[in-house]
Chain A
Amino acid sequence: MQRLDGDQALVDLGGVRKPVSLALVPEAREGDYVIVHVGFAIGLLDAEEAQRTLALFAEMAAQQAAGGEAAPAATDPVASAALR
């Protein structure tokens, strides 16, 4: 996410960039991940919590006694500052 003028910012999703309004999430900073809805950012995405949730899923999957479930898919380390 990059700031533009005033309330506007540019968000990036997988290489696609779109201007959205930050009026509802004034505390957002460049590099933050935001959740976008109808052209407005409505909330910040907490990266730490996201990782925690993913780890929880992986744990759920790994606990499966019937076994054979592979480790969770590695996240792409070179993913751009994509956001939602």
Chain B
Amino acid sequence: MKYIDEFRDGALARGIAARIADEVREGRRYSFMEFCGGHTHAIARYGIRELLPDGVRMIHGPGCPVCVLPIGRIDQVIGLALGRGAIVCTYGDTMRVPASPRPGPDGQAGRGEGLSLIKAKALGADIRMVYSAADALTVARQNPDREVVFFAIGFETTTPPTALVIRQAHAEGLRNFSVLCCHVLTPSAITHILESAEVRQYGTVPIDGFIGPAHVSIVIGSQPYVHFAEEYRKPVVIAGFEPLDVMQAILMLVRQVNDGRAEVENEFTRAVSPEGNVAAQRLVASVFELRERFEWRGLGEVPYSALKIRPEYGEFDAERRFGLHYRGVPDHKQCECGAILRGVKQPTDCKLFGTVCTPDNPMGSCMVSSEGACAAHYSYGRFKDVPVVAVQG
């Protein structure tokens, strides 16, 4: 596969790994946060950790849009499917996110085991997995007598497709289609981490730099990150999603830290420009506007961090159409998803990890999505937690 295989070359990887090992300063620790589900996945799947020297630590940030979905939003979706009989179309990763138990017959809070979309489906909810927003539109056209709701999640990469389908629905005059918009914004999340209470309290979330997301940056460009580099004095290197890209970006970050620089560098020059995909940005601006606040799982309410549908397209806004109210629901008391998403704790710090909370029985969203820090660690890195296991090459 051209432009893919070359970026996965093992020999080159060893070369870059050796350079990183050369350039890290003796006794200094480097902590870098990667903020892109694709990066979390690449690091896990290719086993990049093993190629890094001991002094370099990778922290998984809240780059997984499924992981930051609060319980309350899943509840809304389940309510639409079970309670209002709508056909709900969703990306696959959301199917297993744990949410609240089924509400009682007169709407009071339910008790017992929590539902998820897949469990609601088993109860009769018409929930369909789609690979693309366009598929949801197809379902709406094929089922003119039913309400069809598209559960729109994701960062800036997935937002333009949603904008396109809303415009398309408007142009076709579809009467049965709406979108539950839970699109979130990358820069707000990063700011929130840097401004979080722990940072101010301990002065240390020791994040020395960020690996900027791949796909998101294709859309928003490299320009928006300049703010972080300048304001917070943290280097940012935007990286492609192949493993060599990630290794190279880590090397570039190490160099910036050593040099005392805090700049925005672009490793992903083959796809990311300073201004990004302007056509896509304009499209998004025409359909969406900023929400004043939005709850992120584990981060609480974050101001100006998410989007809602503009009044001009109000008929396609599921919240308006169905008169939905948002009700926040707290996580399981011992679930450490919040701290893990902020990079303050590791999966192994969570009491529930690997025992009560496993990929088969997730308690929190970090375990549900294959890009969540806990799921990635469970699937790919668990063997490292066990001191006895010696890995043979």
Contacts and interface: CB of A to CB of B under 8 A. Distances in A.
Are any A and B Cβ atoms less than 8 Å apart in their complex?
yes
Interface in B155-181: 157-158, 160-161, 164
Given A35-B215, A39-B161, A60-B251, A13 B1 contact: yes
Interface in B231-267: 240, 244-245, 248, 251, 267
Interface string B169-209: 00000000000000000000000000000000000000000
Interface of B: 1-7, 9, 11-12, 14-16, 18-19, 91, 131-135, 154, 157-158, 160-161, 164, 215, 218-219, 240, 244-245, 248, 251, 267, 269-272, 277, 279-280, 283
A42 interface: yes
Contacts of A33: 2-3
B269 A44 contact: no
Contacts of A62: 15
B132 A53 contact: no
A40 B16 contact: no
Contacts of A50: 3, 270
Interface string A52-84: 111011101111101001101101100110111
B244 A57 contact: yes
A7 to B, nearest CB: 9
B130 to A, nearest CB: 9
20 contacts: A23-B164, A24-B283, A35-B215, A37-B157, A38-B161, A39-B133, A40-B161, A42-B160, A42-B215, A43-B271, A57-B16, A57-B248, A60-B12, A63-B15, A69-B14, A70-B11, A73-B5, A73-B11, A76-B5, A83-B2
Contacts of B248: 53, 56-57, 60
Given A25-B277, A33-B3, A75-B6, 14 more contacts: A13-B1, A24-B279, A38-B132, A38-B157, A39-B135, A39-B161, A42-B160, A42-B218, A54-B6, A64-B15, A66-B18, A72-B12, A79-B1, A83-B3
Interface of B is mostly: helix
A38 B135 CA distance: 10
A57 B240 CA distance: 13
B131 A39 contact: yes
Given A37-B157, A44-B271, A58-B12, A76 B2 contact: yes
Contacts of A44: 271
What bracket does the count of chain A residues touching chain B fall in?
A: 35 or more
Nearest to A50: B270
B215 A72 contact: no
Contacts of A21: 134, 161, 164
Nearest to B91: A38
Contacts, number: 137
A31 interface: no
Could you say which of A45, A56, A61 has the most chain B C-beta atoms within 10 Å of its C-beta?
A: A61
A5 interface: no
B12 A79 contact: no
A34 B355 CA distance: 42
A63 B15 CA distance: 8
A61 B16 contact: yes
A60 to B, nearest CB: 5
A39 B218 CA distance: 16
Contact of B1 (A37, A57, A82): A82
Q: What are the 6 closest A-B residue pairs judged by CB atoms, nearest first?
A: A61-B15, A39-B132, A49-B270, A43-B218, A79-B2, A50-B270
B246 to A, nearest CB: 12
Given A58-B12, A62-B15, A82-B3, A40 B271 contact: no
B283 A14 contact: no
A69 B15 contact: yes
A44 B278 CA distance: 13
Nearest to B280: A24
B270 A53 contact: yes
Contacts of A24: 160-161, 164, 277, 279-280, 283
A62 B14 CA distance: 10
Nearest to A51: B270
Nearest to B251: A60
Contacts of A49: 269-271
A82 B2 contact: yes
